[in-house]
Amino acid sequence: MTTAPWTLRGETDPGWAAAVARRPVALLSDHAQCELKAAASAMTLLKRNPDRPGFALRLAPLIREEIDHLQQVLRLLDQRGETLGRDRDNPYAAGLLRFAEGSKARGRGHLDALLISALIEKRSFERFEQLSQCPALAELSGFYAALAESEQRHGDLFVDMALEVYDAAVVSKRFAELADFEGVLIDGLPFDYRVHSGPPS
C-alpha cells in the first residue's frame, strides 16, 4: 500500500467546513455531481485501457462504489425535497487537467490520469474528514466519515495502479509535480458551497 510520500501539499483552511455547512443542499448537490464524475472518469479509464492486465478487476469495484455513493447523496437530497440540480463548471478538476495537457504528447497521459484521480480522491478524503467533524453538519457526521474512508482507499488505489505500470521514480516525481500544483490551485480558487472550493474569505 501507499504511504507518506503520496500526500497532499497544504491543508484545507480550518474554517472551510463551517463555511460550506451554511448551505448544505448546495454542498450535497455538488457532492453528487462529484460522485457522478468520479464514476464516469473511472469508466473512461477502463474503456481506454481494456487490455491492461488486472485493470478492469481493480476499477470495476471502485466504479460500483462511486455509484453507490451517488445514490446515497441523492437520497439525502430527496429527503430534503431537493433534486440533483444542474452541473456547473468545475475549476478545480479543469485546472488539474489543463496543467497536465502537455503530458499526453509525451506519452504520459495515462500516468497523469491515474495521479490526478488519486489527488482528487485524497483531497476529497481530507474535505470529508473535516465535514464529518463539523458541528453544523452533525446529522451527516457518520455519512461523511464513512465516505472519507472510501476516498482514502480510492486515492491509494490509483497510486498503486500507477506503480504497477511505471517506474516508481517516475511516478514519485510526477506525483510531486501534480501535488505541488494542486495545492496552489485549490488554495487560489474562490470560495463556493462545493467540495473542492477555495478557502472562505
Over residues 88-133, the pLDDT tens digits come to 999 999 999 999 987 765 768 899 999 999 999 999 999 999 999 9
Listed by start position, the domains of the chain span 24-188
Q: Is the pTM of this model over 0.75?
A: yes
- How high does pLDDT run on average in the chain? 94
Q: How many residues does the chain have?
A: 201
pLDDT of residue 42: 96
pLDDT of residue 75: 98
CB 26 within 8 A of CB 193: yes
* pLDDT one-digit tens code per residue, 12-63: 999 999 999 999 999 999 999 999 999 999 999 999 998 888 899 999 999 9
Range in 100-104, 122-126, 138-142, 164-168 the model is least confident about: 100-104
**Phi, psi torsion values for 106, nearest 5 degrees:** -95, 10
pLDDT of residue 105: 58
Torsion of CA 195, 196, 200, 201, to 10 degrees: -140
- How far are the Cα atoms of 45, 99, 193 from residue 112, in angstroms, in the given order? 11, 10, 28
User: Measured between alpha carbons, how far is 1 from 163 in angstroms, rounded to an integer?
Assistant: 10
CB 6 within 8 A of CB 156: yes
Q: Name the superfamily (CATH) of residues 24-188.
A: Ferritin, core subunit, four-helix bundle (1.20.1260.10)
Torsion of CA 189, 118, 181, 94, to 10 degrees: -50
